[in-house]
Structure 1
């Protein structure tokens, strides 16, 4: 596939100024070139606020459900209640993002998420204590997120030049991963001080900041020459046909499926903490295991200058997935908690590299009129893969033991990824 932009699309991209190579420590630090562009800077700044704020609600909802029911099963049911609308509306939202002004869609959906957060606060402060209401609000919130995410991701390619897409993805992914670490810690510190209702209110206020930042973005309508289209099942199906025809896109999705479904062992963390690493203290071990991958991802983002300028994006994805598989295998074979955490941190770094370049491939190898739908599928894959992995690893861990299941999954990641790369050369040959 010719991945060059059309003349029309190039006119809508910010120019890439020539710059001297970075020297000294700056070669290794995060590549911040995209932040020189005011529009991208506004979008990224809003992500900083919501990355932490959204985690306050993500902690508060299961905590409130458990407080009401005393049952972890209901917490699991709530997670499933949010998954279906996320999948459906992410696919539909991708089609909508290709048919309308993406800035307008972001304004509507961010406002919708803010309203649901405000309704979470209302039900909590009034003492309603209804699991049904909580699950309905969670489903609505995830539906708005599904509509929002494809438009947000697809907009990046209109705000920065092609050569800075990897750096822009690294900046966004680093903020998101930092939120996964800082948000729950902040929620845990605030709950005893201010209570659950105020967590919802803080998230709603943070989302107001996001709406203001999005309001200040330039208009992002479909490019001139794009055919007017609807956003229905036919357009969603056209997106899947587009993926099937373009092997580099198909393999970028398969790479994430391979890594996450076969190699994400989080369902086995509680068992490993209770059995393999019990001598270190079960609570300490569990906390370290859950935190290690996000910490590694943040570290990878902070030092993204080491890889963000690479042009062989396909090879970077293949290498990152292989390193992820090797690291997960090492984790599965480790009997020392600290060695296990080190392998998980390495896996987190590899996951960041993979995220950066898979995202860049989706933005550079797809035309603008298809980017929304590509990001919709990307959202579904990212959300669904780890949940499938929970089922697969949980079953395998019960049958063969947790360490064998983890190590076996890591080896499968390496074998399947190398087989795909050898059988279909499109991904390893892809470059910006």
Structure 2
């Protein structure tokens, strides 16, 4: 029994009231957010029937995410972080409401939908580095690995419910109602943010938010080779190994589902989060790992192998749901579990190594990499799949993840050797 408790997620961070409120609110809001994540590509594919257009969500999301993620990190190092979270949460509520309005009015203009998506990602770009920079202020350092894993577990739990609910309900209710649910659920996050204590920051003399401040963050990062390599390997994993833009086409063409959603669509979108959620539930071991650089490397290699297996199952499906859909989902789930471990370690490495005065800017870089990598992958996979097909694109991407990760870690052995004291 004691051994089982050692495997289950470490819940000690929930004893911290401020963290517990954010965690509780996140349970609700992440489901709504994932409904939008599923609904936007489904609406675009329904409009156009093209994975290339779905892949454009990567471009339209990446540009504002890079600009406002970096600038948002700078803002988080100069202004009260609670106030900044409040403003950006209201912005997310507004854009979610606009998603609802365009769908309810029967919008058929894909460029309008992509523009709204860009506006949402701009608010997200400021909100997320600020939220991450807050965590070390409210949670003790020895509990950060557990807190990061709990956050990932909630996110992936919502990412399971969102696709399953969205994929099943889109054909029944249409797109607008799912956007509306997200709008209302975001008020839970607003409540948790308002409940935080004031979170002013100590501003470095002569520093002000803007381009100079962002550059200072990059200069600081250049002096931290281990942190820099953590960004590089994650970009490799996400850009080459994240085939989510291909899921609508896979579900429709390779597994014979309807073009506007359906069971195969829902299961493929939910498979990776299911694996990530299970990986988070069984994450009691993460706080005991000292060689975090090696752990990140191993996790990314497992991710690459799982994506290869996922692509092979898609290639062999040829319209057959049984057994290939289940096999594809199983490989994607394995990848999700590996990604949870990688993200928990990389987040902890960043939070503990950076000073509070630089934490917002480095979290800005982190969120650009973590969220921007998959969006860049959407563009790349969407374009390549148009020439090579979904299966070959996915298999090739997984192989590249493995090869490039081995090359990158060979060039920077200090990253693999990086270890932290046992908590």
Bin of the TM-score, shorter chain as denominator length: 0.7 to 0.9
Of 163, 187, 192, which aligns to 2:166? 187
Query: CA–CA distance in 2 between the matches of 1:182 and 1:207?
Result: 16
8 Å CA contact 1:174, 1:301 repeated in 2:
yes
Shift of 1:234: 0.8
CA 1:51/1:86 → structure 2, altered by over 3 Å: closer, same or farther? Answer: same
CA 1:277/1:54 → structure 2, altered by over 3 Å: closer, same or farther? Answer: closer
**Could you say what secondary structure the match of 2:277 adopts?**
helix
Quote the residue 1:7 is aligned against: none
TM-score by length of 1: 0.82
Quote the residue 2:301 is aligned against: 322
When Rg is computed on C-alpha atoms for both structures, the one with the higher figure is 1
8 Å CA contact 2:309, 2:331 repeated in 1:
yes
Query: CA–CA distance in 1 between the matches of 2:173 and 2:327?
Result: 38
Of 209, 231, 234, which aligns to 2:212? 234
Query: CA–CA distance in 2 between the matches of 1:185 and 1:284?
Result: 8
Please list, as runs of the form range in 1=range in 2, the aligned pairs for 1:20-419 lying within 5 A after superposition: 23-61=2-40, 72=50, 77=56, 80-122=59-101, 127=105, 129=107, 131=109, 134-189=113-168, 196-223=175-202, 226-227=204-205, 229-267=207-245, 269=247, 287-334=266-313, 335=316, 337=324, 338-393=326-381, 403-419=391-407
8 Å CA contact 2:64, 2:122 repeated in 1:
yes
Q: Deviations over 1:362-400 (max 9, x none)?
A: 111111111111121122222332233344445655666
Shift of 1:333: 4.3
8 Å CA contact 2:76, 2:129 repeated in 1:
yes
Query: CA–CA distance in 1 between the matches of 2:382 and 2:171?
Result: 33
Q: Does 1:428 align with 2:416?
A: yes
TM-score by length of 2: 0.84
8 Å CA contact 1:99, 1:228 repeated in 2:
no
Q: What's the C-alpha RMSD, in Å, of the aligned pairs?
A: 3.2
Q: Which runs of 5+ in 1 are unaligned?
A: 1-21
CA 1:195/1:424 → structure 2, altered by over 3 Å: closer, same or farther? Answer: closer
8 Å CA contact 2:55, 2:378 repeated in 1:
no
**Could you say what secondary structure the match of 2:284 adopts?**
helix
8 Å CA contact 2:62, 2:376 repeated in 1:
no
Q: Which runs of 5+ in 2 are unaligned?
A: 317-322
Query: CA–CA distance in 2 between the matches of 1:193 and 1:278?
Result: 19
8 Å CA contact 1:261, 1:386 repeated in 2:
yes
Number of aligned positions between the proteins = 406
Shift of 1:356: 0.8
**Could you say what secondary structure the match of 1:219 adopts?**
coil
Query: CA–CA distance in 1 between the matches of 2:231 and 2:282?
Result: 25
8 Å CA contact 2:77, 2:357 repeated in 1:
yes
